[in-house]
Structures are given as structure tokens and as C-alpha cells.
RNA sequence: GCCCUGGUGGCGGAACUGGUAGACGCUACGGACUUAAAAUCCGUUGGCUUUGCGGCCGUGCCGGUUCGAUUCCGGCCCAGGGCACCA
């Protein structure tokens, strides 16, 4: 055995072995319990970053552990290969996105392989491959048939930098989620998916996902945004009906506070509302206001704090219960996209209506008082609206009811009059999937002058994306390529134009986990193998996907279920959201007021006697400022390259450091000293095995008489095994599992004994240590397992069970407290009863000092743990 | 404003069901080995106090329950994240 631990040699040998034996190929084995372990697939940006390394290491540890537990494990890998960065790169270096993407994939695949992940590479897929995305198109056509997909001209979010449409979910505080550019509104025809049809199911099913983190479920529930309320109608006045050119219509509103119906003093509609548009035809001032609101360079974030603006339409509707004439106003605080795009305004009991009424001099009418009757908006207008539930007043026959009762009674009466009904409203909106972009999955539609939008027939799928285009940054290159868009109408055969929009890339990632089960199936989207492997037992990825990707995947899976392709509804049973990888940020001023970032490796930190950070300098002695912790990024100069880490220390050290430094869900702070510490530990493990092997042949442990020290050592070993099994398998905390193995090695290191019995115990302890570490550092343990004399490979070794008899202790140390404070310890036989414990505790020397002269009121005995004497 | 996390030494973190607060690692300091350095090994490392045994304080703050609270309950403070004119 080599005396020195050389990770490069060890890791190559282990990986060669796994490759030669095709060790990670997954096969469907009916009746054997499967474990589908999936880490979110990467975007092929060019290089792996530390976030990837962490993500894939967590998945790999679980996959390897479950395999040792006897589960039939599938761990696949693929590429989320469509998307804007490829186009941006194409513009920058004149290279087709396809070429750029595929080269990146080749490079990153090599990087992933260097980490020694237990992946079945035969199932690899890239979403830009036609044999993958053709099924996006195929299912889209089924959705069209089912009415789940539809076309609509709507106001969309236009990103002026990427020149593309974004979904609401991709707009963050009025800016593009990728570019950060201010979003404009534009009218564009596009395709939508009716995710709102599934809103109720998607929300309700969150309760049946105990394997998901609470906060992710909360975020999704929030996003779906269920509100129970009443939809009610304000019948149009004669003048209103005239302007709208109709008879007997009504203005619909949605409210969660039907109990305040008698407090309505006006109705407010959104600028895009039909009533507003109709009224604007005859009112230039109103038309200008409507146009300004619709243009809306106005960001949604600003809207919330913006002044409540509006104009009267001059039109009126009738109150559904009193018949009173109610004016209709256009207001900038009403959203067309939610509810009916109109609200019944109750200034006394809604803060927004209140502010609007104040600035436009509209009446305020109190109809709810607090339960003790103390609060009245009209009498105390400086206090603002009273928006809490309470007791109804001045509400005709409904006066004197609690808010809850009033809502029920009013809804019932409205329903009997055909003017309202209880309804549930969701915040969630339909998913717009059209993108005016080249590098994505083509939407399979043909536009014919005579026949309209015609679906591409199934037998003409896939609609292939030409791969040799180089976008120039202006619009969509597909729209400039006659060879792509010129076609014939499938219905009438006439000249027609192919849709040049492509699908949102979130479509691609909404079902890749299903395709991994049957990646080679040429004739169907999925086959029976999906029933075997799905659902994913453990999904691992970043919290940034808590809403979009995970919600879309849950929706898409349900659509596939309703098409009859799969049986499941929920794709991911357990979800682990790993924390971010952070590093220190240092910077200093350079010429003309600018600042430069300095990589933490270039910085020496000064500390005071307490060890607190007081300053930092670079090698040339110049000061740098500490800016705190942040995610690793090129622009902040605090990145660490996985390649150089693997080259310097090996993949095992990288994996060990990531797993040891923080629990997986928490953020991880990079530390070069920590990396060195991990490497140091692996070297100690190597050395321990080396010294043990050098000590000569090992006798068998059975029938070997053991002294107390050896019994203790065995107990530590088996205790470690039990703890590691629980930590990895049940709790998914790897840092404490590693700490336990470190303790075992510390115990072994302190035990100097070369007797045959000691050799036998050491052999067992080292085997346990190696096996416990195997999921985390698979290469070094692969080698050490052989050095410990095994002919079979560690990857095929089943997880062992802790020996109960080895865990037994003859003497236990029991803690003695007086009034809850630790005062001493006593040793007692393992099975000692309460009386023995009590006697021993009272006799303890230091305890005696604290109970002398005091009356003992009570003695609490916890067997095997502690005695508390209350005086 | 609503929802969700979290707050423990110089640092990352541990204490899982209420039962020894600070496991394990890092840093720092002291020592051994070495011509020297690196590497390695040994020791110390929450604060105050004591020659020593030991004692007092200490898990964001205030209070409660309990023989006993980092853990449970109530009220606050702070930090991070999500949503936000959603009627």
C-alpha cells in the first residue's frame, strides 16, 4: 500500500473501475424497491460552479447511501439546453447557439465525471435534441385539443433588452428576471396554458406533500393565492347600457367583503375594462388617462406606492340590493388581470378605496363597527379605514350581524336574485409560453390566411429548429428565414406561414424527470418504465426554483396524467432545497472613483487578540475593504473554480468539505482553511489504514477476548455506524455524520495496542469508518476497502447494521444535579434501578456539599441519564 | 402590510422526544520533532473568578410552565427570504 495519499491516482483508479463495470446503469427490476434520486439538471453555461458541485454531491451521497441500503437506484443527468444565454453568446462570438451549447455540454460533462458521481450516463438527454422537444410539441397539440392551450392577444411584459415576452413570474419588481431591465407593456398574440384550471388542485395537494419544506409549500400557496368571496353584479343603468350598446347587462365585481356591500359609494374599474374603453370613446380626457395607464411604463412595484389616480366615467350602475345609483370610476389601482377587473369601492372599510375617496371627494359610509362599537371611520376619518371584520350597521335587514354571518346572508340573498354567488378567486394567472426567440422549442402551429391558426399534424412532428443560425440581436432570426416559416396549410394546402415563436424554456424542464425513465423510447413521450421509476423519491435543487419550475412541473405532470400518459399527480415526493455557496467579498478604490474587487485568496485578514476581524490587506500591504458574504460570481471576484479545487486536492476533498461545513439546506461559507482541514482528515484516514495494514495479518474478531479499552473502542465504532445511518438516511444531515466518523478516528488514534485482539477490533472499526464515509468520499474509500483486504468492490457492499451487543455498556456515567445545576457525576452498573442511582447520587462528594444541612424535597431520577436532587 | 425562516464561543456549526450547552472542524496561542521551513504530533481555547478542588454568569430581549428550558407557551427586538394596490 502507498504510504502517501495521492488523490489523483486513487480517483482515476476508482472511476476506471466503475466505468469498466458499468456500475451505475439502472435497470427496472419489478418487485425491488426503487429510489429515484434527482438533482436539478444544469443549464450548460460553460463551466460548473460551486453551487452545482454542492447540488450534485448531495444527490450523490443519498443515491450511494440508498444503493447500499438495497434500493434500486436511478440517478440520471441531463441538460436544460435551450435559453437566452446561448443566443447572447452567439451574438458575442458569432457562433450558432447549437454549437456553443453542445461544446459547453461536452466540457461540463467531463467536469461532472471528475466528481465521481454515481450517474447512469446512458440516460443523458439535452432539451435541445429534437427527440426530446418533439414531445413538448406533441403534448402542446393535445393541450390545444383539450382546450388547455389557447391563443389570446393580451397585454404582455416586454423585456426591451432581450426583446422578448416574459411570464408574470419572470418579472421581478417590474424588471426582467434575467436582464434586470424595466419592463414595458405590449399587445402580442400568444399561446397560454390554463394552469388556472388546476389552481385548486395544485393548492390543495400541497397539504399532501409532507416531504417538502414548509417554506416552499407556503411560497406556492401564496403564489396560487386562493381567496373565498362573492362575485356580484351591479346592473347597468340605462345610460351605461346605451354607451355599451346593449340591454340589461351588469358590471361584475369580486369581493371578499360582501358584508360591506351597503358601504359601497362607487365602483372602480381598471383602465383596460370594457366600460372604461367605451366611456373613453366620448371623453378625450378619460381616453388620455386610459391610454397612459395601459402604456404603463409604470412598474408594478411603483404602483403599490403610487398615488391613487382616476377619473369618473360619467356612467352609473345600480346597487344590487338597494337599487341606488352608483358612479363608475376608472382607477389606476384596479388590476385588469385579477377577478373581474372591477371592484366595489367601500371607502370606510378598505384602505385603497379610502385613499381614493379622500382625494376625489367621494362619500364615505360606515357599515361595520368593531365588536365593541368603538370604531367609526366617518367620525374618525384621520384614523383611516376600518378594514377589520366586525358587526354590520346601517345595512338594512342585514344590520347587527357579524361579518361572517353577513357575508353568508348577503350572498344567499344575492344568489336568490340572480345577482351574485359565492366564488373562489385565485391570484395565479394562465401561463404564457410564447417567446419571440430563436433558441427554443418551436410552437407547432401554421398560420393560414384562410383557415387561421392550424395545428401541425402529428405525423409532421417534430417541427425542427434549424441549428445553424446566428442571431444578430434584433428580433427573432426564425422570422427572417423563409426556409423555416414558408409552408403549406395542412387543412387547405395553400401557402401559409409557420409560427416562429418558441416555447418558454420552463416547458422543457417541466417533464424531463419523466423522460429519464425511458429516454430511448422513440414512439411515445413516456412508457411503462415511467410508472416504475416515478415519482422522484428525492429531488434536490436551489430555492430559487421554489415557485416557477416546481409549480409548472406539478401542473405539467397533471396534464400528462389527464392525457392518460402517467398515473401520478405529484412528481416529487421529497424535496431538498440546498443553500447557496457564499464567499467573502473584498474590494478597494482604484483610480477615478471606481472600485476593484479582490479575490479572497489574495487577502490576508488581520485579527485582534479575540480573533475578531479588524482589517485586511493584499500581499503588497494595501488595505482592502470587507463587503461581507455573497454568492460566488465573476463580477464580485470571489469565485472558486471547481476544476482547480479538484486538481489540487481531489474530488473527495471537495465533496467532503461541502458536506461537512454546513447542513445541506443552509448556506455554505467558503473557507480555504476548511478545504485544507477536509484534505487533512482524508490523509489521516489513509494513514490510519496504512499503519493498520502494515502491522501484519489480522485475526478474526470472533472468540477474541476483549479488555475494557477494546470493548469501548468497539462500542464507539458501532455507535458511529448507527449514528451515520440515521443522519444520512433519515435526517439528511451529513455534517454530523462526518463529525461522528472523525470522533471514531480520534478514538482509534488514541488507542495504542498491537495485540491480536486490538488488530481485530481496529480492522472492524476501520471498515466501519470506510463504509460510513463511502457515500461522501467514494474514491478514497474504494481504494481503502481493497487495502483492508476485500476482493469485492465497496460500491457493491451492502450497508452493515450496528451490533447491538457491542453497544452495551457495563458501567454508565450518570449526571447528578442539585436544583437543576450540574454538581457531579457517578458511575453505576448499566441496569441499576432508581434506588441505586439515588443512593450513589446522594453520596457523591461535591453533591454532599450542596445538600448538607438542607431538606431534600424531591429526587428526580432519569434512568441511565441523570439524577436531580431538589432541596 | 401578510407569509416563511433564522438569532448559540473569535468563526462554520452540534445538542434529534424538555435532561451534562458548545460535539466535530477551523482559527489563534503554547509545546515536541527539524539546521530551518513545510508536513506531522501533543496541549490550551465562552466570559469572570479561584494557588487548586471549585464557584458565578452565559444560547437576541422580557415574562410564564417545569424538579429541570437552546428546546414548550405568551409578548417583543433584530436579520434574511417570499408575496404585495390581488379587492
> For residue range A308-335, what is the model confidence (pLDDT) as tens digits?
889 999 999 999 999 999 999 999 999 9
Look at A788 and A474; give whichever has higher pLDDT: A788
DSSP codes, A793-855:
-GGGPPPPPP-HHHH--SEEEEEEEETTEEEEEEEEETT--HHHHHHHHHH-HHHHHHHTTS-
pLDDT band for position A299 (50/70/90)?
very low
pLDDT of residue A248: 79
Residues 418-457 of A, Cβ under 7 A from nucleic strand B:
425, 427
**Across A57-63, average pLDDT:** 97
Distance A660 CA to B41 C1' (A): 24
pLDDT digits (tens, 9 = 90+) for A106-151: 999 999 999 999 999 999 999 999 999 999 999 999 999 999 999 9
Specify whether the backbone of A590 is left (phi greater than 0), alpha (psi in -120 to 50) or beta: beta
Is the pLDDT confidence value at A392 over 60?
A: yes
Cell numbers describing residue A569? 399527480
Nearest nt to the CA of A306 via C1' is B85
What is the distance between the alpha carbons of residues A452 and A455, in angstroms, rounded to a whole number?
Answer: 10
The answer to whether some atom of strand B lies closer than 7 Å to the beta carbon of A634 is: no
Burial of A606 (0-12, 13-18, 19+ CB in 10 A): exposed
Q: Is A337 helix (H, G, I), strand (E, B) or coil?
A: coil
Angle at A390 between CA A267 and CA A265, to 5 degrees: 20
Paired sense of beta strands A625-631 and A811-818, if any: unpaired
Axis crossing angle, helix A642-649 with helix A651-661, rounded to the nearest 10? 110
Distance A673 CA to B59 C1' (A): 27
Instruction: Give Cβ neighbours of residue A306 (< 8 Å, ≥ 6 apart).
Output: A298, A332
The answer to whether some atom of strand B lies closer than 7 Å to the beta carbon of A813 is: yes
- Residue A569 is classified by DSSP as S
**Within 13 Å and on the Cβ side, how many CA atoms surround A226?**
15
Lowest mean pLDDT among A352-356, A570-574, A626-630: A626-630
Nearest-Å Rg of the Cα atoms of chain A is 34
Nearest nt to the CA of A749 via C1' is B41
pLDDT of residue A300: 45
The answer to whether some atom of strand B lies closer than 7 Å to the beta carbon of A752 is: no
Specify whether the backbone of A592 is left (phi greater than 0), alpha (psi in -120 to 50) or beta: left
pLDDT digits (tens, 9 = 90+) for A223-233: 999 999 999 99
pLDDT digits (tens, 9 = 90+) for A815-845: 999 998 899 888 888 888 888 899 999 988 8
**Across A659-682, average pLDDT:** 94
pLDDT digits (tens, 9 = 90+) for A209-263: 989 998 899 999 999 999 999 999 999 999 899 999 887 799 999 999 999 999 9
Per the CB < 8 A criterion, the answer to whether A662 and A735 are in contact is yes
Residues 253-292 of A, Cβ under 7 A from nucleic strand B:
254-257, 270
The answer to whether some atom of strand B lies closer than 7 Å to the beta carbon of A815 is: yes
pLDDT digits (tens, 9 = 90+) for A136-194: 999 999 999 999 999 998 777 788 887 776 656 566 666 776 677 877 778 788 999 99
Distance A334 CA to B84 C1' (A): 14
Protein-covered nucleotides of chain B (CB closer than 7 Å) are 3-5, 10-16, 19-21, 23-28, 39-42, 53-56, 67-69, 81-87
pLDDT band for position A608 (50/70/90)?
low
Is the pLDDT confidence value at A611 over 70?
A: no
Residues 821-840 of A, Cβ under 7 A from nucleic strand B:
821-823, 825
pLDDT band for position A632 (50/70/90)?
confident
Cell numbers describing residue A170? 419572470
pLDDT digits (tens, 9 = 90+) for A750-796: 888 889 999 999 999 999 999 999 999 999 999 999 999 999 999 99
pLDDT of residue A466: 97
What is the distance between the alpha carbons of residues A208 and A573, in angstroms, rounded to a whole number?
Answer: 10
Residue owning grid cell 382625494: A359
pLDDT band for position A298 (50/70/90)?
very low
**Across A614-620, average pLDDT:** 79
Is the pLDDT confidence value at A297 over 50?
A: no
Task: Report the first-to-last Cα separation within chain A, whole angstroms.
Answer: 62
Per the CB < 8 A criterion, the answer to whether A407 and A230 are in contact is yes
Per the CB < 8 A criterion, the answer to whether A757 and A710 are in contact is yes
pLDDT band for position A610 (50/70/90)?
low
Query: What does the mean pLDDT of chain A come to?
Result: 91
Residues 187-246 of A, Cβ under 7 A from nucleic strand B:
214-215, 218-219, 222-223, 225, 227, 229
The answer to whether some atom of strand B lies closer than 7 Å to the beta carbon of A746 is: yes
Distance A849 CA to B51 C1' (A): 21
**Within 13 Å and on the Cβ side, how many CA atoms surround A555?**
28
Angle at A185 between CA A180 and CA A187, to 5 degrees: 135
What is the distance between the alpha carbons of residues A827 and A809, in angstroms, rounded to a whole number?
Answer: 11
Nearest nt to the CA of A173 via C1' is B84
pLDDT band for position A585 (50/70/90)?
confident
**What ipTM describes this predicted complex?**
0.96
Residue owning grid cell 449526571: A815
Distance A610 CA to B46 C1' (A): 11
- Residue A116 is classified by DSSP as T
**Sign of the CA dihedral with A850 first, then A851, A853, and A854 last:** positive
**Within 13 Å and on the Cβ side, how many CA atoms surround A99?**
11
pLDDT of residue A187: 79
pTM for the complete prediction?
Answer: 0.93
pLDDT of residue A623: 83
Mapping DSSP onto H, E and C, the string for A212-258 reads: CCHHHHHHHHHHHCEEEEEEEEEEECHHHHHHHCCCCCEEEEEECCH
Which H or E element spans position A668?
strand A668-669
Distance A736 CA to B17 C1' (A): 19
**Across A363-375, average pLDDT:** 84
Look at A629 and A99; give whichever has higher pLDDT: A99
pLDDT digits (tens, 9 = 90+) for A795-811: 999 999 999 999 988 88
The answer to whether some atom of strand B lies closer than 7 Å to the beta carbon of A524 is: no
pLDDT digits (tens, 9 = 90+) for A518-574: 999 999 999 999 999 999 999 999 988 989 999 999 999 999 999 999 999 999 999
Before A664, cis peptide (omega within 30)? Answer: no
Task: For chain A, give the percent of residues with pLDDT over 70.
Answer: 96
Is the pLDDT confidence value at A445 over 60?
A: yes
Which H or E element spans position A356?
helix A351-360
- H helices within A281-321, ranges in order? 284-295, 300-305
Burial of A612 (0-12, 13-18, 19+ CB in 10 A): exposed
Residues 307-336 of A, Cβ under 7 A from nucleic strand B:
307-309, 332-335
pLDDT of residue A584: 87
Paired sense of beta strands A434-435 and A502-503, if any: antiparallel
Cell numbers describing residue A812? 454508565
The answer to whether some atom of strand B lies closer than 7 Å to the beta carbon of A801 is: no
pLDDT of residue A454: 97
pLDDT of residue A167: 59
What is the distance between the alpha carbons of residues A224 and A426, in angstroms, rounded to a whole number?
Answer: 6
Distance A631 CA to B57 C1' (A): 38
Lowest mean pLDDT among A424-438, A621-635, A720-734: A621-635
pLDDT of residue A703: 76
Amino acid at each position: 500500500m502507498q504510504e502517501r495519499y495521492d488523490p489523483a491516482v486513487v480517483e482515476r483508479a476508482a472511476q476506471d473501475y466503475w466505468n469498466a463495470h458499468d456500475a451505475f446503469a439502472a435497470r427496472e427490476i419489478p418487485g425491488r424497491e426503487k429510489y429515484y434520486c434527482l438533482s436539478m439538471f444544469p443549464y450548460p453555461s460553460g463551466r460548473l460552479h460551486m453551487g452545482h458541485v454542492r447540488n450534485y454531491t448531495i444527490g450523490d451521497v443519498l443515491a450511494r447511501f440508498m444503493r447500499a441500503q438495497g434500493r434500486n437506484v436511478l440517478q440520471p443527468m441531463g441538460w436544460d439546453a435551450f435559453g437566452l444565454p446561448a443566443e447572447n453568446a452567439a451574438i458575442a462570438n458569432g457562433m450558432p447557439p447549437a454549437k456553443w451549447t453542445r461544446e459547453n455540454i461536452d466540457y461540463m460533462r467531463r467536469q461532472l465525471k471528475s466528481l465521481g458521481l454515481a450517474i447512469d450516463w446512458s440516460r443523458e438527454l439535452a432539451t435541445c435534441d429534437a427527440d426530446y422537444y418533439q414531445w413538448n410539441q406533441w403534448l402542446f397539440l393535445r393541450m390545444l385539443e383539450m382546450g388547455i392551450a389557447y391563443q389570446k392577444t393580451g397585454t404582455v411584459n416586454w423585456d426591451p433588452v432581450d426583446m422578448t415576452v416574459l411570464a408574470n413570474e419572470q418579472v421581478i419588481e417590474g424588471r426582467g428576471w434575467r436582464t434586470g431591465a424595466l419592463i414595458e407593456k405590449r399587445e402580442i398574440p400568444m399561446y397560454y396554458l390554463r394552469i388556472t384550471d388546476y389552481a385548486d388542485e395544485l393548492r390543495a395537494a400541497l397539504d399532501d406533500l409532507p416531504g417538502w419544506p414548509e417554506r416552499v409549500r407556503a411560497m406556492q400557496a401564496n403564489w396560487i393565492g386562493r381567496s373565498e368571496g362573492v362575485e356580484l353584479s351591479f346592473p347597468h343603468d340605462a345610460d351605461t347600457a346605451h354607451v355599451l350598446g346593449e340591454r340589461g347587462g351588469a358590471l361584475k365585481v369580486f369581493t371578499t367583503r360582501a358584508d360591506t356591500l351597503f358601504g359601497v359609494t362607487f365602483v372602480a374599474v381598471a383602465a383596460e375594462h370594457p366600460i372604461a374603453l367605451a366611456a373613453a370613446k366620448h371623453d378625450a380626457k378619460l381616453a388620455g388617462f386610459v391610454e397612459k395607464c395601459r402604456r404603463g411604463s409604470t412598474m408594478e412595484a411603483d404602483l403599490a406606492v403610487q398615488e391613487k389616480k382616476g377619473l369618473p366615467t360619467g356612467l352609473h350602475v345600480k346597487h344590487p340590493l338597494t337599487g341606488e345609483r352608483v358612479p363608475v370610476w376608472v382607477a389606476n389601482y384596479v388590476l385588469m388581470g385579477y377577478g373581474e377587473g372591477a371592484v366595489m369601492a367601500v371607502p370606510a372599510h378598505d384602505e385603497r378605496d379610502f385613499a381614493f375617496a379622500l382625494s376625489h371627494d367621494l362619500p364615505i359610509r360606515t357599515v361595520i363597527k368593531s365588536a365593541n362599537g368603538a370604531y367609526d371611520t366617518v367620525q374618525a376619518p384621520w384614523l383611516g379605514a376600518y378594514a377589520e371584520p366586525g358587526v354590520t350597521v346601517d345595512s338594512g335587514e342585514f344590520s347587527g350581524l357579524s361579518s361572517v354571518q353577513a357575508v353568508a346572508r348577503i350572498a344567499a340573498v344575492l344568489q336568490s336574485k340572480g345577482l351574485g354567488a359565492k366564488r373562489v378567486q385565485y391570484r395565479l394567472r394562465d401561463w404564457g409560453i410564447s417567446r419571440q426567440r430563436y433558441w427554443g422549442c418551436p410552437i407547432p402551429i401554421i398560420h393560414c390566411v384562410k383557415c387561421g391558426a392550424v395545428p401541425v399534424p402529428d405525423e409532421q412532428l417534430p417541427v425542427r429548429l434549424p441549428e445553424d443560425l446566428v442571431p444578430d440581436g434584433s428580433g427573432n432570426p426564425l422570422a427572417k428565414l423563409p426556409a423555416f416559416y414558408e409552408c403549406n396549410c395542412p387543412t387547405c394546402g395553400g401557402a401559409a406561414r409557420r409560427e416562429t415563436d418558441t416555447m418558454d424554456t420552463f416547458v422543457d424542464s417541466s417533464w424531463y424527470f419523466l423522460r429519464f425513465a425511458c429516454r430511448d423510447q422513440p414512439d411515445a413521450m413516456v412508457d411503462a418504465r415511467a410508472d416504475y421509476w416515478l415519482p422522484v423519491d428525492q429531488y434536490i435543487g436551489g430555492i430559487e426554483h421554489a415557485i416557477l419550475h416546481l409549480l409548472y412541473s406539478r401542473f405539467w405532470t397533471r396534464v400528462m396524467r389527464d392525457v392518460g400518459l402517467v398515473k401520478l399527480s405529484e412528481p416529487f415526493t421529497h424535496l431538498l432545497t440546498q443553500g447557496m455557496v457564499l464567499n467573502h467579498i473584498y474590494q478597494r478604490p482604484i483610480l477615478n472613483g471606481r472600485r476593484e474587487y479582490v479575490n479572497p485568496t489574495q487577502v490576508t485578514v488581520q485579527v485582534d487578540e479575540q480573533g475578531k476581524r479588524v482589517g485586511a490587506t493584499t500581499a503588497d500591504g494595501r488595505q482592502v475593504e470587507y463587503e461581507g458574504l455573497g454568492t460566488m460570481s465573476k463580477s464580485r471576484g470571489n469565485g472558486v473554480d471547481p476544476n482547480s479545487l479538484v486538481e489540487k486536492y481531489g474530488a473527495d476533498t471537495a465533496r467532503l468539505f461541502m458536506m461537512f461545513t454546513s447542513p445541506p439546506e443552509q448556506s455554505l461559507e467558503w473557507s480555504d482553511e476548511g478545504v485544507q482541514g477536509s484534505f487533512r482528515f482524508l490523509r489521516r484516514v489513509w494513514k490510519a489504514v496504512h499503519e493498520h495494514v502494515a502491522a501484519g495479518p489480522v485475526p478474526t474478531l470472533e472468540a477474541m477476548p476483549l479488555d475494557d479499552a477494546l470493548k469501548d473502542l468497539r462500542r464507539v465504532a458501532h455507535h458511529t455506524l448507527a449514528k451515520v445511518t440515521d443522519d444520512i438516511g433519515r435526517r439528511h444531515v451529513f455534517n454530523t455524520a462526518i463529525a461522528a466518523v472523525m470522533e471514531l478516528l480520534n478514538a482509534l488514534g488514541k488507542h495504542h495496542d498491537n495485540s491480536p485482539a486490538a488488530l481485530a477490533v481496529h480492522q472492524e472499526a476501520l471498515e466501519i469508518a470506510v463504509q460510513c464515509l463511502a457515500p461522501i468520499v467514494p474514491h478514497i474509500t474504494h481504494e481503502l476497502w481493497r487495502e483492508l483486504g476485500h476482493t469485492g468492490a465497496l460500491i457493491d457492499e451492502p450497508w452493515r447494521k450496528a451490533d447491538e451487543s457491542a453497544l452495551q455498556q457495563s458501567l454508565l456515567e450518570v449526571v447528578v444535579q442539585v436544583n437543576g445545576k450540574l454538581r457531579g457525576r457517578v458511575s453505576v452498573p448499566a441496569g441499576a434501578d432508581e434506588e441505586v442511582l439515588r443512593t450513589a447520587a446522594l453520596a457523591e462528594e461535591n453533591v454532599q456539599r450542596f445538600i448538607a444541612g438542607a431538606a431534600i424535597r424531591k429526587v428526580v431520577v432519569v434512568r441511565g441519564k441523570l439524577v436531580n436532587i431538589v432541596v
